[in-house]
Amino acid sequence: KTSVMLPKDENYAPNLYLYNYRGLRVPRDGHQVAAQGADAQGEAGRRLRRVLPRRPARPGSRRLCTSSQRTWTSGLSAARNLEQRFPFLEYCYPGVSSIEKLPNARLIKSHLPHSLLPESVHTENPKIIYVIRNPKDVCVSLYHFTKLIKETGYEGTFTDFFESFIKGNVAYGPIWKHYLEWWEHRNDPNVLVVSYEELHKDVCNVIQRIALFLERPLRDDEVNAIAEHCRFTSMAANNAVNYEHWKKLGFVNLAEGDFMRKGIVGDWKNYFTPEMNAMMDEWIKDKFGGTGMSFVYELRDEVTDGEEV
């Protein structure tokens, strides 16, 4: 049996459970994430192998998705929302059948770790862009996102969520397994690993790296235009990327604010107690020590405050 129900977290809605699917924590309710569909076994796997083209851009964050998409399509109408233009591989909406109809080069994103991607990722070598963010800010961001989504019914405190995060019992967790699987492939020629913090420190440099990686060189004016398009304030005001349509569909708790919340580095300092910070530091050393992976926890005068663990 590959999928095992985890003990019920009473902070969530009564009908929402997490399942352990081959090491990944998968929510079976809500948007019905089908991790099985990303497995390389069975008919679902065969369908997904047909979906992935030889060279799609596969960004892992919404800011990066937008910059990559402009690189590939330059002029795509903003009338279509991000879910339609950059569908998630594992979501039922718009679904694999819709992705199959997209023209090459297809732009697909995913929450899945390396081990759960379709077999074609390992045989066809599509272009993959993987985005990491420091775990402290991820914890805060995911907490707010979990409270934002109405179907989760999450009523726990940040302390409750922090404890679940540390244990890996959050959707698409545990984060360390996810990060380390991709980190092992950071030197693969078809994989580019960038950090959320790099995007803040020097977005133009990251855009140039992405352009070279995707074999789509850009002029300086194009880089600057993409950088402006990807500014947090620009994206927050752009209905094609800010998920405002979720409000109309009733997917979100309006009292929890917007999908585009802050978009900053270091927001964890507004939530972590000294004890939480010490616990997280030890957790990071335990999970990432000796791997060569480093994280940036705040930006000061364009100088990173990272520490290798």
Q: 92 or 262: which carries more pLDDT confidence?
A: 262
| pLDDT-above-90 percentage for the chain | 41
| Res 189 pLDDT > 90 | yes
Q: What's the Cα-to-Cα distance from 158 to each of 70, 140, 147, rounded to whole Å?
A: 36, 8, 10
Tell me whether residue 114 is one of the annotated catalytic residues: no
The answer to whether the peptide bond before residue 34 is cis (omega within 30 degrees of 0) is no
Question: Structural domain boundaries of the chain?
Answer: 3-308
Model confidence at 298: pLDDT above 90: yes
Query: What pLDDT, on a 0 to 100 scale, did the predictor assign at position 268?
Result: 97
pLDDT tens profile 228-242: 988 878 777 777 776
Q: How far apart are CA 152 and CA 160, in angstroms?
A: 15
pLDDT tens, 120-169?
A: 777 888 899 999 999 999 999 999 989 988 888 889 999 999 999 999 99
Mean pLDDT across the chain: 78
pLDDT at site 110: 86
> Taking a C-beta distance cutoff of 8 angstroms, is the pair 62, 2 a contact?
no
Helix (H) and strand (E) counts in the chain: 14, 7
Helix (H) or strand (E) holding 131: strand 128-132
Amino acid at 233: T
Average pLDDT over residues 46-67: 40
Question: Residue 251's pLDDT is what?
Answer: 76
Residue of 111, 114, 178, 200 marked catalytic: 111
Q: Cα dist. 284→132, 141, 176 in Å?
A: 14, 17, 9
CB proximity list for 231: less than 8 A, separation 6 or greater = none
Q: Which CATH number fits domain 3-308: 3.40.50.300, 3.20.20.10, 3.40.50.10490, 3.80.30.20?
A: 3.40.50.300
Lowest mean pLDDT among 1-15, 177-191, 253-267: 253-267
Half-sphere exposure of residue 244, counting CA atoms within 13 Å on the CB side?
10
CA angle (146, 150, 153) in 5-degree steps:
70
The per-residue pLDDT for 92 is: 65
> Residue 174's pLDDT band (boundaries 50, 70, 90)?
very high
Q: What is the pLDDT of residues 196-246, one digit of tens each?
A: 999 999 999 999 999 999 999 999 999 999 999 888 787 777 777 766 766
Helix (H) or strand (E) holding 301: none
pLDDT in tens, 85-121: 777 777 765 666 677 777 777 788 888 889 888 887 7
Angle between helices 158-167 and 135-148 (to 10 degrees): 120
Q: Residues 161, 170: contact at Cβ < 8 Å?
A: yes
The residue whose two tokens read 């066809």 is 124
Span 161-188, average pLDDT: 94
